[in-house]
Amino acid sequence: MINCVINDKKLKVKEGTTILDAAKEIGIDIPTLCHMKLPNFNYKNKPSSCRICMVEVVGRPKLCTACSEEITEGMIVKTDTPKAVEARKINLELLLSNHPKDCLVCPKNLNCELQALAEKMGIREIAYKGERMQHKVDASSNSIYRNPNKCVMCRRCETMCNEVQTVGTLSGLNRGFDAIVAPAFNISLAESSCTFCGQCVAVCPTGAIVEIDATDKVFNAIKNPKKHVVVQVAPSIRVAIGELFDMEAGEVTTGKLVTALRKLGFDVVFDTDFSADLTVMEEASELVDRIENNKTLPILTSCCPAWVRFIEMNYPDMLDIPSSCKSPQIMMGSMVKTYYANKTGIPSKDIVMVSVMPCTAKKAEAARSELGTKDIRDVDYVLSTRELGRMIKLYGIDFKGLEEGKFDKLMGESSGAGTIFGTTGGVIEAAIRTASEWLTGKELEKIEFEELRGLKGIRGAQVKIGDLNLKVGIAHGLGNARKLLDGIRSKKYNFDAIEIMACPGGCIGGGGQPYHHGHEEILLKRQRALYDIDKNKKFRKAHENPMIKEIYETYLGKPYGERAHDLLHTSYSP
């Protein structure tokens, strides 16, 4: 341990601790804009680009940046001297001078870390006026909107895209006023290698990278008397949306969410947890088929669209591995436009299917040409958790005080298996609960597969199913997915079944979720809440869900059968 003094307070810290982290240990919050570190998820940003965290080290003529400077034995640090505070303020003023001042209409209004710093540091006028950078905005994709004029060059997005996700779409270009973070040669995101995972969106401190907003389109559909608007909510929304309404992370808000959606005017509210159960039925059938008939293994889960785009672009030779199952969001859309349309007699052309997803890639997934026809899409519009939050606020709905509503019957009941889809490890655990009982013909003694849980980036476990030792691999974050796929190619890894989710943590950490602003505990609370919901569910295996049984008996026929194939499966192309 190393001794130091910060603002007259003595403390001991571990070797390698930065001044910023040491100060945090004793409750001193040094402001910063570029800093980003999530130890459980094993990532941190390149330090000291914003130069907001200036502090004085006694005996040194120059100030230093607290995020990059490590504590040394006997170091005396002062974070609150006029010299340090003044330097921080000047650096912030310089950033603000080159920033559009349209906070009132910015998508990040009240969520912007730059705005919050300006308020915290008492900025009341723009000190340096004059020239400003001028870049074109990029609205080329269905998912992500880039406005480089709001970029503060903190490079968090670049770190996420290159080091965590290893996609390599975003990097620093040009110098001086022309400096931006953008795809190579400044091509548009739609033309680039972007997977639309939205991890750049999740960490951008300003409004430089945000989701494409679909709220107006959804309001217009709701207002249109000729349209019947059906909405579905993804598993991880219910444990995160409360954060937008001053509730604790991980507070379960399922019933309030349903009531809020009805108040907004949606005609029918279905649960993506139901279609996650449907996915389990199909995916577990496919797994059993591949095992029993010696077909291609490993099987890879295919519900995460950023991950699907990643394998299509980077591993085109491995496209026989992913399951052919559509994702739960698309399965729901497909069932609504067929099964629900048949049952109700409402023509599918008059039904608008809206999804609320924690994810920006789900917007791009809904637009994939093979998922529907030109006129009748499986899913029409996708809202992020944040967009739904804005809609609820616009209508002045007191979310916290809402009574508990219930999903509509036909596709609203789910098992705990469907719910845990929202966390890393949950999709494969859900599939194994069902596959295991089908393969052995026996009821599981223990439903929870603890060995598949946790947050390690790449995990492997052996699951005993009768005489079979199923080798299961799990990766979350595309960088880990890359390592796993490379390991399969090189035969370093030998798995039978694999789950990959593009976002660190799975959908709980999706690019459309309420901003966690670097508080890792938020992701952990969301994860715990999903496992709690599962624990308290009446049914915990997809094949026991009575609504799932009914849909197969009355409409789909056999799982993995002909009609199920038509409606619930897809194919991939490089």
Catalytic residues, by residue number, are 283, 286, 303, 323, 362, 365, 370, 507
**Residue 305: CB minimum distance to ligand HC1, A:** 7
Residue 364 engages ligand SF4 in binding (rule: CB under 6 A)? no
Among residues 18, 149, 327, 348, the one that binds ligand HC1 under rule CB under 6 A: 327
The answer to whether 129 touches 101, Cβ cutoff 8 Å, is no
Cα 373 to Cα 226, 334, 341, 367, 377, distances in angstroms: 20, 11, 16, 10, 6
Pick the closer one to ligand SF4 by CB: 364 or 556: 364
Give the burial class of 440: count Cβ atoms within 10 A of its Cβ; 0-12 exposed, 13-18 middle, 19 or more buried: middle
In the numeric block, which tokens belong to residue 237? 């929304």
Among residues 43, 145, 196, 245, the one that binds ligand SF4 under rule CB under 6 A: 196
Return the residues of window 128-167 that contact ligand SF4 according to CB under 6 A. Answer: 144, 160-161, 165, 167
Return the residues of window 197-216 that contact ligand SF4 according to CB under 6 A. Answer: 197-200
Please list the residues that pair with 468 across neighbouring strands.
465
Residue 335 to residue 123: CA distance in whole angstroms:
54
Contact partner, 477, from ligand HC1, ligand SF4, none, Cβ < 5-8 Å per class: none
**Residue 247: CB minimum distance to ligand HC1, A:** 18
* Residues 6+ away with beta carbon under 8 Å from 116: none
Q: Of all helices (H) and strands (E), which one includes residue 353?
A: strand 351-357
Contact partner, 235, from ligand SF4, ligand HC1, none, Cβ < 5-8 Å per class: ligand HC1
Residue 416 to residue 250: CA distance in whole angstroms:
16
Pick the closer one to ligand SF4 by CB: 197 or 214: 197
Residue 357 engages ligand HC1 in binding (rule: CB under 6 A)? yes
Among residues 53, 77, 181, 194, the one that binds ligand SF4 under rule CB under 6 A: 194
Contact partner, 507, from ligand SF4, ligand HC1, none, Cβ < 5-8 Å per class: ligand HC1
**Residue 471: CB minimum distance to ligand SF4, A:** 29
- Which of 414, 411, 415 minimizes the C-alpha distance to 447? 415
Residue 209 to residue 91: CA distance in whole angstroms:
22
Contact partner, 479, from ligand SF4, ligand HC1, none, Cβ < 5-8 Å per class: none
Pick the closer one to ligand HC1 by CB: 158 or 534: 534
Pick the closer one to ligand HC1 by CB: 167 or 357: 357
User: φ and ψ at 161, to 5 degrees?
Assistant: -70, -40
Among residues 230, 249, 359, 366, the one that binds ligand HC1 under rule CB under 6 A: 359
In the numeric block, which tokens belong to residue 550? 């009914």
- Which of 528, 497, 570, 496 minimizes the C-alpha distance to 305? 570
Residue 568 to residue 334: CA distance in whole angstroms:
7
**Residue 329: CB minimum distance to ligand HC1, A:** 3
Closest residue (Cβ) to ligand HC1? Answer: 507
Q: Of all helices (H) and strands (E), which one includes residue 182?
A: strand 180-183
Residue 386 to residue 357: CA distance in whole angstroms:
9
Q: Where are the beta strands (DSSP E) in 203-309?
A: 209-211, 228-233, 268-271, 299-300
Among residues 235, 333, 425, 477, the one that binds ligand HC1 under rule CB under 6 A: 235
Binding site for ligand SF4 (CB under 6 A): 144, 160-161, 165, 167, 169-170, 194-200
| Footprint on this chain of ligand HC1 (rule: CB under 6 A) | 234-236, 272, 276, 303-304, 327-329, 357-359, 362, 421-422, 506-507, 510
